[in-house]
Structure 1
């Protein structure tokens, strides 16, 4: 497939007419909260610092590297739209701004957004200056000690400790602009059906089409060869089509997507209004099916053992923001080189470019929400809205095979005894299924599950003989309490779902200057490999366990339980780890 530019922020849906707004912006802390009353939003007041967007001020790559509490921050940038944008509608996009944001262009409020991990956009055409010089101002408020705010691993104390890390405030994913016609293709959604060899495409058109002759042409290719073409008259804001894909069959699986064969179909869209071409976009999809049949997880209608690694997506100098696209790709390559076929992105809605490389290189992903810590009606409202945006953003990526709205009862700490919290977890399960019925959903990964498609267990036991006994039968597995937590609550019991151990291992091994901790410790390379073998082999040979997720890919801040150091140096040869993962 044709690769978009390495800095293109939305690689699953690409247009040529765009411009990155990353780079240097003016910046200021507003600890006294005077910015609004002082009218900083008008864009006339210079700010006293400089920051490199999209890195948060807490990171070294931002150029600031200040890790104290500054809940309110401001950004200011003067931007001249390129000549190619003339006569078009101009959309301003933000990949993620943590947590509550307002955006002004030339003093006019163009967007507000609540949620620190999901994108938002604004049509800023009417706010642009006729002279061409435009001042963009962003105010972000991130309440560092608000435990009802979805925050993932960001700590509410000043210094990182235990499993909690440096906070991320403000802009931390790309800012960019694109031009579109008054009528344009806003988005598409794919529903692959490998059983009928069809792809269902839902196309969403933005703009007034009443009284206009609007046509959408779709051309699908595979490895440069023509597959299918579809031309449909657009009569409503959404059009849905099913397109037959010749050459796809269940025998060779040569055109299906899997980690071993990450086959992708390329799609080109052209929107025509009254016979004139007004919009073009490029996309892709994978023919892939994730399902559960007779208590087995299946990939493309075949039982599939998932060998996942827990990946928190933190970087030494960028925190939640990767330093480059090459760094993202390298993480995927290292994961595969060790023999893993997937990753559980832990407490982070990951950058779309990570999902792109997983699509292209072949790596399964469990999509997980960044959770809050405590429960309230405010938390529930925030969590529900932002999770819907996360599922919507990532829906088309074939690499994603499971959704995890809640982890280890975060946000619902009293779920064992509190019926409201049980109902919330149950609601999140059903909400996710309503948004995407094609993927399994885990209601509360680790323990204290309500209704769930996968029965997932977190178990940091390091003794091989204990793991062998615990996972020797279904009964012993589902009745275990490895974290002294019940695996099911609210009247829900094990109902024959696939059993997976989705956190385990966590072996500390110091191979860098970082000091830290893990769930157990190794003294040298030989001891480390022995300990890895002791926790992985019982699960691989169990016959009861259908997949696992090892903790973790890299060291992170004060945690030294990664397979790689924080700067991505392997602690032992990658092939040695692969031998352990591949052993039967």
Structure 2
């Protein structure tokens, strides 16, 4: 094949922005066709493939893992090299190259100069081009190495070479967007927006890069086009970070702070500007933020000080033909179904969502449980990988008001002896404390499903398929809080040495009723033979959970069929199996707040 021509990047439509929560005026899309080359003998570095310009044997559509249909006819393997050429003709000081997710080990070169690397297949990283950027043609090369090591956070990716039970096709390579931003030498490198409902303020903490002289950083807060306040701070080379306090009270007859909730997902707009001493612009970002408070009190979850009953659905984050690399249209379609069915949130299970997905939840009014993908062995390497990955997960989610819970481990995966093993309990607690140190504004679940140590919520997984038997298991309060109420797992709620300390109780996985598709598709319980029987089982299980007094919410398994699993409310094409109105009718039995006719 011919060597791919260099493409001149174009300023892209902001509707498809890969980071909608914080946008600069222009960004450049590197999604689309890339060259790809397999390196089964791991000789690419020695032969300096990052410097050569000869044609490679195949192309791939980025982002999409080569294991999935929409990637095209591409190379496959555990070591892959990607190349994309582009023309650059603008006069700029710096170019930031953003990788939203590359599974799992990435090294990046621009014009033969190594920019850096990243370890971890689910979290984003950014590399400045620096002096490697050339006026004219530029060659961007990425080497990716992936393994199915169980020390590596894998989430739902099978490590056995084929799918089994609830584990799916592995994902290799660049599976979330790649894009670029042109900036000046001095620019905002990161930002954290923290709402405080008690004072009606947003605290905007920002860190600048490339500060060589005093600069002024200011933020302007508006709500639905109405100006509220502007505030700022001076930063200098020896103090490159600081916090701007923004009063969120609106100056009107209806003097109040507008909060974010599923019923009313109000968002404030923020313009962050960096200027030099002569007020010449250096950087500008358009952001949004939500005034939202989540906490637990007296066995209840409170959202904005009001009791919040959560009705979530488990979203595995796999899409037809694309695996985890959903398009914006696919994500939006799914989330609209979630909202239309009457759920008020999603538990994003064992994968870390695209920022566009998170932004859609912000705007639609869907709470999100963010979850760290699991490793499957307890080892020093696995512990380090999980701690690093969880830290980066928090950074990615921090500014999204929809995110209210971090789940750090699931069903004792990777910590099989956590019930008695002190070291494994310590790992869960280390993850918990690290997360709390980085983010005090959200709830944290240490080990979801059973065998809890440190946790803000008591979460139970129960795939009992008979509603009557499930109800009977939840009638004795002592067993429900302190024992092993799940008739399917029979695992203790708390690890040895730990006990219930007043945490709200949620059934964070249940249901999983398989229907439709092939008869051998996997689900929980005996497979119903008719659509009516399947729906009645689903509805009766939901009603049973809703009617259990101590339960403060639930997460139904699951949103859509995935590969060998047939237990979704949507089928493999992500079309509804059951009446949207019927689902909404059952969920509306438990509404938050007042219901007005």
Counterpart among 90, 93, 115 of residue 88 in structure 1? 93
The 3 A distance-change label for structure 1 pair 468 and 200 is: same
- State the Cα distance separating 1:206 from its structure 2 match: 1.1
1:546 equivalent to 2:552? Answer yes
- State the Cα distance separating 1:254 from its structure 2 match: 7.1
- State the Cα distance separating 1:248 from its structure 2 match: 9.3
2-structure distance, mates of 1:438, 1:179: 32
Aligned partner of 1:125 in structure 2 is 130
Aligned partner of 1:148 in structure 2 is 151
Aligned partner of 2:394 in structure 1 is 391
- State the Cα distance separating 1:430 from its structure 2 match: 0.9
2-structure distance, mates of 1:373, 1:550: 24
Aligned partner of 2:163 in structure 1 is 160
Runs of 4+ in 1 over 6 A off after TM superposition: 251-254
- State the Cα distance separating 1:7 from its structure 2 match: 2.4
Counterpart among 493, 496, 516 of residue 499 in structure 2? 493
**Residues 497-524 of structure 1: CA distance to partner in whole angstroms, max 9, x if unpaired?**
10000000000001x4685110022222
2-structure distance, mates of 1:509, 1:203: 49
Task: Confirm or deny: 8 A CA contact 1:43 1:76 kept in the other structure.
Answer: no
State the superposition RMSD in angstroms.
1.8
Task: Confirm or deny: 8 A CA contact 2:314 2:555 kept in the other structure.
Answer: yes
> What secondary structure sits across from 1:406 in the alignment?
strand
- State the Cα distance separating 1:242 from its structure 2 match: 1.8
Gaps of 5+ in 2: 1-11, 591-597
2-structure distance, mates of 1:488, 1:460: 18
2-structure distance, mates of 1:253, 1:503: 38
Matches within 5 A, 1:59-70: 59-64=68-73, 70=77
Matches within 5 A, 1:310-325: 310-322=314-326, 324-325=327-328
Task: Confirm or deny: 8 A CA contact 2:200 2:257 kept in the other structure.
Answer: no
The 3 A distance-change label for structure 1 pair 155 and 100 is: same
Task: Confirm or deny: 8 A CA contact 1:150 1:372 kept in the other structure.
Answer: yes
Task: Confirm or deny: 8 A CA contact 2:92 2:182 kept in the other structure.
Answer: no
- State the Cα distance separating 1:87 from its structure 2 match: 2.7
Aligned partner of 1:191 in structure 2 is 194
- State the Cα distance separating 1:56 from its structure 2 match: 1.0
Task: Confirm or deny: 8 A CA contact 1:314 1:321 kept in the other structure.
Answer: yes
Task: Confirm or deny: 8 A CA contact 2:341 2:580 kept in the other structure.
Answer: yes
1:240 equivalent to 2:246? Answer no
> What secondary structure sits across from 2:383 in the alignment?
helix
1:8 equivalent to 2:17? Answer yes
Bigger mean CA deviation after superposition, 274-283 or 451-460 = 274-283
> What secondary structure sits across from 2:472 in the alignment?
helix
1:505 equivalent to 2:511? Answer yes
**Residues 311-339 of structure 1: CA distance to partner in whole angstroms, max 9, x if unpaired?**
000012110100x2121111111001111
2-structure distance, mates of 1:157, 1:49: 27
2-structure distance, mates of 1:260, 1:252: 20
1-structure distance, mates of 2:304, 2:545: 23
Matches within 5 A, 1:261-300: 261-275=264-278, 276-300=280-304
Counterpart among 60, 77, 99 of residue 84 in structure 2? 77
> What secondary structure sits across from 1:359 in the alignment?
helix
**Equivalences, count:** 571
Aligned partner of 2:3 in structure 1 is none
2-structure distance, mates of 1:125, 1:242: 33
Task: Confirm or deny: 8 A CA contact 1:248 1:254 kept in the other structure.
Answer: no
Counterpart among 43, 49, 52 of residue 40 in structure 1? 49
Counterpart among 12, 15, 40 of residue 31 in structure 1? 40
Matches within 5 A, 1:403-552: 403-478=406-481, 479-482=483-486, 483-510=489-516, 512=517, 515-520=520-525, 521-552=527-558
Aligned partner of 1:222 in structure 2 is 223
1-structure distance, mates of 2:485, 2:39: 47
- State the Cα distance separating 1:570 from its structure 2 match: 0.5
- State the Cα distance separating 1:51 from its structure 2 match: 0.5
Task: Confirm or deny: 8 A CA contact 2:196 2:202 kept in the other structure.
Answer: yes
> What secondary structure sits across from 2:50 in the alignment?
helix
> What secondary structure sits across from 1:488 in the alignment?
coil
- State the Cα distance separating 1:438 from its structure 2 match: 1.2
- Relative to the length of structure 2, the TM-score reads 0.93
Task: Confirm or deny: 8 A CA contact 1:58 1:64 kept in the other structure.
Answer: no
> What secondary structure sits across from 2:418 in the alignment?
coil
- Relative to the length of structure 1, the TM-score reads 0.95
The 3 A distance-change label for structure 1 pair 376 and 455 is: same
2-structure distance, mates of 1:473, 1:259: 32
1-structure distance, mates of 2:224, 2:89: 33
> What secondary structure sits across from 2:36 in the alignment?
strand
1-structure distance, mates of 2:157, 2:439: 28
> What secondary structure sits across from 2:324 in the alignment?
coil
- State the Cα distance separating 1:4 from its structure 2 match: 6.9
The 3 A distance-change label for structure 1 pair 253 and 56 is: farther
- State the Cα distance separating 1:220 from its structure 2 match: 0.9
Aligned partner of 1:327 in structure 2 is 330
2-structure distance, mates of 1:32, 1:213: 51
The 3 A distance-change label for structure 1 pair 481 and 554 is: same
Bigger mean CA deviation after superposition, 200-209 or 374-383 = 200-209
2-structure distance, mates of 1:417, 1:129: 58
The 3 A distance-change label for structure 1 pair 62 and 431 is: same
- State the Cα distance separating 1:583 from its structure 2 match: 2.2
Aligned partner of 2:113 in structure 1 is 108
- State the Cα distance separating 1:81 from its structure 2 match: 2.1
Aligned partner of 2:593 in structure 1 is none
Aligned partner of 1:22 in structure 2 is 31
The 3 A distance-change label for structure 1 pair 246 and 461 is: same
2-structure distance, mates of 1:32, 1:424: 36
The 3 A distance-change label for structure 1 pair 550 and 452 is: same
**Residues 171-223 of structure 1: CA distance to partner in whole angstroms, max 9, x if unpaired?**
001111111111111222111011111111112111123xx231112111111
- State the Cα distance separating 1:563 from its structure 2 match: 0.4
